[in-house]
Amino acid sequence: MSAKVSIRVAAIFSPGGKVTPKWFELNRRKHEVKATTYFWRDRIGEVPLLHFAVTDGEALYELIYNIIDQSWSLNGLQTEKP
């Protein structure tokens, strides 16, 4: 998957600005976030973005949170080869 897809995410917003994704929906399937393997900040122009590399135990996903419009998107998916 290479194009960004808008998704629904449940996240905890802690004091100090920390964001922790807990689950997300993709193709009407709920994926529980088992671990965040990497986190980084980025910008597109004036728009700050938070990137989360997360796993549901089966695949690795890149979730992106747009701080300005408070939307989530999925940018990538990597699955293990059998």
pLDDT digit string (tens) for 67-78? Answer: 999 999 999 878
Stretch 57-66: mean pLDDT: 95
Stretch 15-34: mean pLDDT: 94
Q: Which residue has the tokens 């964001």?
A: 19
pLDDT at site 37: 95
pLDDT at site 81: 54
pTM assigned to the model: 0.88
CB of 61 closer than 8 Å to CB of 54: yes
Is the pLDDT confidence value at 1 over 60?
no
pLDDT at site 49: 96
Cα–Cα dist 40/82, whole Å: 29
The residue ranges of every structural domain in the chain are 5-79
Cα–Cα dist 51/65, whole Å: 7
